[in-house]
Amino acid sequence: MDVSPQQQNAPEVHILIVDDTPVNQRQLSQGLAKRGYETRSVPDGPQALAAVRSNLPDLILLDIQMPHMDGYEVCRHLKADERYRDIPIIFISSMDQTRDIVNAFVAGGVDYITKPFKFEEVVARVETHLSLRNLQRQLEQSNVELGRNIHELDTLRIIAQTLNQATTLEEATQSGLETILILLDAQAGWLTLIDQLGVMRLAATYHLPPTVQDISDLEGTCSSCKFRRGFRDTILTEPTIVPECALLQQIYGSSQHLPLHICMPLQMEGRPVGTLNLLPAPERVATENERRLLRTIGDQYSATIERARLFEDVQTLATTDPLTGLFNRRHFFALGEQAIRAARRYNRPLSAILYDIDRFKRVNDTYGHSVGDQVLRAVADRCQAVLRQPDLQARYGGEEFVILLPETGPREAQQAAERLRQHVAEPAIETDGGAVSVSISLGVAGLDEWGSLTLDELLKCADVALYESKRNGRDRVTVRGCRRSEMTSMSA
């Protein structure tokens, strides 16, 4: 039996499992028993409360959606009774929205695991919170004053957990803002971030009036508004309380009682990132402890935003062509294989277009490579503007591009290719070297019904068709059938 470190030279640890699904009960109970824990399982809220009263557990694993009483209500019942309020409760649920997770923490939970769960993760979190529970007991015995600090640490922990789950900038901004403002009991707020051009822009809002479209369009006269508009000219490094902000007068109307406005500048290694703005509930007073907490939250939030930005930058570098902004060849093949599998599985049409810029070497030789790059970008943009949202365009290499068209047979693809050819040909492309006229040759291949054709074979057919367009005079579309049994070509 694998004995948990929590169990070595320690009294028995009792864990109560509350879940109405027998399979989950059995998996958790058997797995935790092998780790040396004593477990009990009950299927609903009333039985959970009875089990707690009969034999106090050291930790509870609690589902949310159950008959008779949901997990939130069970948690609130336990936290309302001082005999049970210190029992760590870990929610395990398939509900994964930000509000669901925040509600679990607000109800009194110490952690949140989404289903389907990984057992090793459950064990790790159980051990973590049993350790935290033991530490909490020691702290409670040492000093009552630590209660306030524990509350702050708990708030920071919840915020950190939410922010650590964010993998995209959108998740970090919107989910992070909602979590922070909910836990700080703010009635509304917003987040501004400095973009790559150095402009402070609205990134996320929470409970602002629906008439507000973009706070960056509004003008305020307080120090935080000046910082928002031109952060280089106004130094703002600490949470700033603005009792009468002109910005809020424009949001809520000058006739209304304006809420308190707290502006927290976000920085990373001394470099401004943006501002976190919150409007506390009317009865709240911003104490020095709350300002200190806000500074710590600001540091956490800044680091999360920068991490999300870095992740998105890395993702972009790994998947896109830096010159045209299209997908690169490697990422195209990854997405193309998915499209091929879907077309084959559901027997749906799929076509490919290969095209390149005619006599592109002459453009480079005549105008230089800088103008050549401008022509490449312009051609890619013109073609992208004609394509549908599901169509997938990528830079294939040099002046050659590839397009995958789902739900499109060869004849429809031929029509699409002809639109591309015409859209590129006129008008001439404006460049630093003057107007440059170019044309493209296109090869089309596809099937109305799928057999065992691969992506490589489809692209080889399109490549043969492109070669025929080049051989027959350029600036034209050639369509080629792509069956293994027969290869039929049609000239556009």
What is the fold, at CATH topology level, of the domain defined by 169-315? Answer: Beta-Lactamase (3.30.450)
How does pLDDT run across 21-68, given as a tens digit for each residue? 999 999 999 999 999 999 999 999 999 999 999 999 999 999 999 988
What does the alpha-carbon distance between residue 386 and residue 25 come to, in Å, rounded to a whole number?
55
**Mean pLDDT taken over the chain:** 83
Amino acid at 330: R
CB 480 within 8 A of CB 445: yes
Cα–Cα distances (Å) from 411 to 148, 300, 345, 403, 421, in that order, read 71, 55, 22, 15, 15
Mean pLDDT on 332-352 = 89
Q: Of the given ranges (39-53, 88-102, 190-204, 397-411), which has the lowest mean pLDDT?
A: 190-204
- What per-residue confidence (pLDDT) applies to 234? 47
- What per-residue confidence (pLDDT) applies to 487? 41
Burial of 168 (0-12, 13-18, 19+ CB in 10 A): middle
Q: What angle do CA 242, 249, 237 make, to 5 degrees?
A: 25
What is the value of pTM for the model shown? 0.48
DSSP string for residues in 3-24: --GGGTTS---EEEEE-S-HHH
For 299, phi and psi rounded to 5 degrees?
A: -65, -45
CB 76 within 8 A of CB 50: no
Domain 329-491 has CATH 3.30.70.270: yes
Q: Which of 170, 399, 418, 426 is catalytic?
A: 399
- What per-residue confidence (pLDDT) applies to 451? 63
Mean pLDDT on 285-314 = 80
CB 216 within 8 A of CB 247: no
Six token digits for residue 43: 């299927």
Asked if 5-142 and 169-315 have one fold, the answer is: no
Q: Strand order in 392-397's β-sheet?
A: 392-397, 400-406, 350-357, 440-447, 477-481, 489-491
Mean pLDDT on 415-429 = 95
Catalytic residue check, 399: yes
Domain segments of the chain: what residues?
5-142, 169-315, 329-491
Q: Is the pLDDT of residue 140 over 80?
A: no
Six token digits for residue 458: 């489809």
Domain 5-142 has CATH 1.20.140.10: no
DSSP string for residues in 273-328: EEEEEEEE-TT----HHHHHHHHHHHHHHHHHHHHHHHHHHHHHHHHB-TTT-SBP
